């Protein structure tokens, strides 16, 4: 078990907070193309339970085990999100003093100092993390193999249609919504390799909310 950071954009942080997101897909880099042993172009795979190696579905040849998932079952993850730091005056009289607090863009109502600029999630320190996750399962799959339930677990749904714009309502299924969200997270220059239509290999990382470990 290891403690590691994981980045989510504001939209996905809100989905986690709402209890709508329990899974994330991350691109396998570099991508598998064909087995170096039998030259089979992979649309299938054999994946071991330790999330360490992938094998050719035709001949069983190990497909470069250095393509190890960045996260393993039982890992504890702290979520990095868009944030800022501000000070708040607390107490009265001689006991009055300033305390350091953190605000989060995903919960703007909790950010009492709107004057402080938002900071990118990549720069968020561990001590500022408010969301902790435990990895429950890791697998590998083609992106377009996602099911309707899988797309919902990714947070590609909404509660009772609330807070959903007209454009979002155009997508009839969670899979269609997920495809749109996925492409919005990929650089335009990388869409040909990693976009929805490219159907890349992805790590499927399932997780659950947990408390911050005492030893952290």
Pairing of strands 201-210, 23-27: antiparallel
Query: How distant, in Å, are the alpha carbons of 27, 81, 108, 188 from that of 117?
Result: 30, 14, 12, 27
**Is pLDDT larger for residue 79 or for residue 88?**
79
pLDDT band at 65 (very low <50, low <70, confident <90, very high): low
Token couple for 19 = 């209890």
Interval 136-149 mean pLDDT: 94
Pair (157, 199) in one structural domain? yes
- 29 Cβ neighbours under 8 A, 6+ residues apart: 67
**Which pTM does this prediction carry?**
0.79
**Is pLDDT larger for residue 47 or for residue 134?**
134
* Helical residues (DSSP H) of 118-173, grouped into ranges: 148-153, 166-169
The Cβ of residue 78 has, within 10 Å, a number of other Cβ atoms equal to 21
CATH number, position 27:
2.30.130.30
Question: What domain count does the chain have?
Answer: 2
Give the pLDDT of residue 75: 96
Pair (71, 90) in one structural domain? no
Give the pLDDT of residue 112: 54
- pLDDT for residue 151 is more than 70: yes
Task: Identify the burial level of 149 via C-beta atoms within 10 angstroms of its C-beta, where 0-12 means exposed, 13-18 middle and 19 or more buried.
Answer: exposed
Pair (107, 146) in one structural domain? no
DSSP state of 53: -
Enclosing domain of residue 193: 3-32+67-80+130-210
Pair (185, 135) in one structural domain? yes
Q: Say which range, 106-115, 137-146, 171-180, has the weakest mean pLDDT.
A: 106-115
- Residue 88, domain member (yes or no): yes
Query: How distant, in Å, are the alpha carbons of 90, 145, 213 from that of 191?
Result: 49, 18, 38
- pLDDT for residue 170 is more than 60: no
């Amino acid at each position: 078990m290891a403690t590691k950071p994981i980045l989510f954009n504001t939209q996905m942080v809100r989905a986690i907070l709402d209890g709508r997101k329990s899974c994330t897909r991350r691109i396998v880099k570099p991508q598998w193309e064909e087995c170096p042993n039998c030259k089979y172009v992979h649309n299938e795979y054999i994946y071991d339970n330790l999330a360490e190696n992938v094998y050719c579905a035709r001949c069983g040849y190990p497909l470069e085990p250095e393509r190890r998932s960045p996260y393993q079952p039982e890992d504890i993850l702290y979520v990095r999100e868009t944030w800022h730091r501000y000070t708040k005056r607390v107490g009265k009289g001689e006991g009055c003093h300033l305390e350091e607090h953190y605000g989060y863009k995903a919960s703007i109502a909790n950010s009492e100092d709107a004057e402080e600029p938002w900071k990118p999630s990549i720069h968020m320190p561990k001590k500022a993390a408010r969301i902790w996750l435990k990895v429950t399962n890791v697998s590998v799959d083609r992106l377009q193999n996602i099911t309707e339930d899988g797309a919902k677990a990714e947070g590609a749904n909404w509660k009772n249609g609330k807070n959903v714009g007209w454009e979002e309502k155009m997508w009839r299924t969670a899979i269609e919504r997920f495809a749109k969200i996925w492409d919005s997270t990929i650089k335009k220059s990388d869409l040909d390799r990693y976009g929805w239509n490219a159907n890349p290999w992805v790590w499927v990382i399932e997780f659950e909310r947990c408390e911050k470990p005492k030893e952290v």
